[in-house]
Chain A
Amino acid sequence: GEQVEQRPPHLSVREGDSAVITCTYTDPNSYYFFWYKQEPGASLQLLMKVFSSTEINEGQGFTVLLNKKDKRLSLNLTAAHPGDSAAYFCGFMATGGNNKLTFGQGTVLSVIP
């Protein structure tokens, strides 16, 4: 099955700084990629879904980069604020499959005011 490695497990940054979370994968097949945010005690909120053909994806206050050569997906928060403090999970889903979403191990981000 697909192996997903998400780093770092914990990340602490100051308000206004950038934060980068990375996931690497092993299966070369085409995928959809997802980033979800989970605030403490809450459910998962979809941040972005990207397809394997799109390398740069802009969101509100963040960018998702896909490096297919290195099999790396990254979430870049450009100017973190305390409301960004949460757990972030990457997810991978093979096309043509049964919608099985495989998650990374998660990153707990703390933004210090």
Chain B
Amino acid sequence: AQTIHQWPVAEIKAVGSPLSLGCTIKGKSSPNLYWYWQATGGTLQQLFYSITVGQVESVVQLNLSASRPKDDQFILSTEKLLLSHSGFYLCAWSLGTSSAETLYFGSGTRLTVL
């Protein structure tokens, strides 16, 4: 069975500080990977997706970047946090074998920027 693990569970960071959020998928090779962001009380917005190692497509940047250094790992980062980065960050995966696939979400990271 596939498992998706996000870390950390929660972060409290200062404006202007760097950030790195991680996501690991186990039990599935070559998945499609996604980052979503949810403002408090808001809807979910896709930020990035990746179909293979080293390849990341930006959907909405929000002064963030993403990388896929390994087949099972997806990293979201920034060098300088803004107040507007606060929210809930969700990593998701899909099979990567066809279009219109179901996305399965991780447990998320809650980020508070002060």
Q: B45: which A residues are within 8 A, CB to CB?
A: 103
Whether B44 lies near A100 (C-beta < 8 A) is no
Q: What's the Cα separation between A96 and B42 when bound, in Å?
A: 28
Whether A89 lies near B103 (C-beta < 8 A) is no
Q: What's the Cα separation between A10 and B94 when bound, in Å?
A: 30
Q: A96: which B residues are within 8 A, CB to CB?
A: 99-100
CB 8 Å contact bits of A75-113 with B (1 = contact, 0 = none): 000000000000001000111111111111110000000
Interface size on B, residues (CB 8 A): 24
* A-B CB contacts (within 8 Å), total count: 56
Whether B106 lies near A43 (C-beta < 8 A) is yes
Q: What's the Cα separation between A105 and B59 when bound, in Å?
A: 18
Q: What's the Cα separation between A66 and B49 when bound, in Å?
A: 28
Interface size on A, residues (CB 8 A): 25
Whether B102 lies near A42 (C-beta < 8 A) is no
Which residue of A41, A44, A93, A104 has the most chain B CB atoms within 10 A of its CB atom? A44
Across the interface, name the chain A residue whose C-beta is closest to B110.
A41
Q: A101: which B residues are within 8 A, CB to CB?
A: 34, 46, 103
Q: What's the Cα separation between A93 and B42 when bound, in Å?
A: 19
Q: What's the Cα separation between A66 and B45 when bound, in Å?
A: 23
CB 8 Å contact bits of B93-111 with A (1 = contact, 0 = none): 0100001111111111010
Whether A99 lies near B101 (C-beta < 8 A) is yes
Across the interface, name the chain B residue whose C-beta is closest to A100.
B46
Contact of B100 among A46, A93, A102, A104 (CB under 8 A): A93
Q: A110 CB to closest chain B CB, in angstroms? A: 14
Which B residues fall within an 8 A CB radius of A? 32, 34, 42-46, 49, 51, 57, 59, 90, 94, 99-108, 110
29 contacting pairs across A/B (C-beta < 8 A): A32-B100, A34-B102, A36-B105, A41-B110, A44-B90, A46-B102, A46-B104, A49-B102, A89-B44, A93-B100, A94-B100, A96-B99, A97-B99, A98-B51, A98-B57, A98-B99, A99-B32, A99-B34, A99-B94, A99-B101, A100-B49, A101-B34, A101-B46, A103-B43, A103-B45, A104-B43, A105-B42, A106-B42, A106-B43
